[in-house]
Amino acid sequence: MKFYSLLIKYRLPIAITFLVIAIATNIYSGFWPAFLPYLVAAVLIFGYFFFGPLRLIQEYMENGDTEGAEKVLNTIKFPNLLYKPIRSVYFTLKGNLAMMKQDFDGAEKNMKKGLDLGMPMKEAEGASLLQMGLLHMQKNDLKQGESYIRQALRKGLPDKENQAAAYLQLCSIMMTKREFRASKDFFRKAKALKPTTPQIVDQIKQIEKYISRMPG
């Protein structure tokens, strides 16, 4: 697995090396002896532009190294050449990283590009829609935030933690709109999922203190 990661990381320089070997072999020995290094170089160059270093980015994200992930993303100079589902993930990751930096405009722009391209899995699309909803909540655009979060729930979310987060956001929106019955309903749905993420658990505890006092 480590070998594969190294191959992806150094795919372009390896491809150039094979191309140089192929050209030299072609000059001194003819085309057919050079065919194999030509083929290897072509496959590696194709993979570099068509698939990109997505696996490396995923490893950094899984390890919580957002700086490393961003550095790898920045090595992709021609994202429009990426295979469409990979291009979608590329823009989604760029959007997530922008959101972490509080760059909401950049996050929205990239996430929209990812969604427009179509996500490889429904759950991934749901997660992206939830991110868009949270982004609009940060921008105080409750109407658009609610729309995205409801879409996320319809598409499906990857786990109970994301589902609970979505229901809690809708609960807060309904409170703001003074639709207390709906707010309580969304709160019950979030609590029933029994999330374990500390931030979500804390949010449930905070809401629980006063939700029972609300009418409806």
pLDDT of residue 211: 84
Question: In this model, does residue 216 exceed pLDDT 70?
Answer: no
Average pLDDT estimate for 135-143: 91
Average pLDDT estimate for 134-154: 93
Q: Which residues fall within 8 angstroms of residue 83, CB to CB, at 6 or more apart?
A: 50, 51
Amino acid at 15: A
Instruction: Tell me how far apart the alpha carbons of residues 159 and 200 are, in angstroms, rounded to a whole number.
Output: 13
Q: Please write the tens of the pLDDT for every residue from 101-127.
A: 889 899 999 999 999 988 767 678 899
Instruction: Tell me how far apart the alpha carbons of residues 135 and 112 are, in angstroms, rounded to a whole number.
Output: 12
Instruction: Please report, rounded to a whole number, the percentage of residues in the chain having pLDDT higher than 70.
Output: 98
pLDDT-derived band at 48, boundaries 50, 70, 90: very high
Which of 134, 201, 198 has its CA nearest to residue 172?
134
Question: In this model, does residue 96 exceed pLDDT 80?
Answer: yes
Q: Please write the tens of the pLDDT for every residue from 21-45.
A: 999 999 999 999 999 999 999 999 9
Average pLDDT estimate for 36-56: 93
Which of 60, 94, 63 has its CA nearest to residue 76?
94
Averaged pLDDT of the chain = 91
User: DSSP secondary-structure letter at 167?
Assistant: H
121 or 52, greater pLDDT? 52
pLDDT of residue 212: 79
Instruction: Tell me how far apart the alpha carbons of residues 158 and 90 are, in angstroms, rounded to a whole number.
Output: 19
Q: Please write the tens of the pLDDT for every residue from 174-214.
A: 999 999 999 999 999 999 999 999 999 999 999 988 887 87
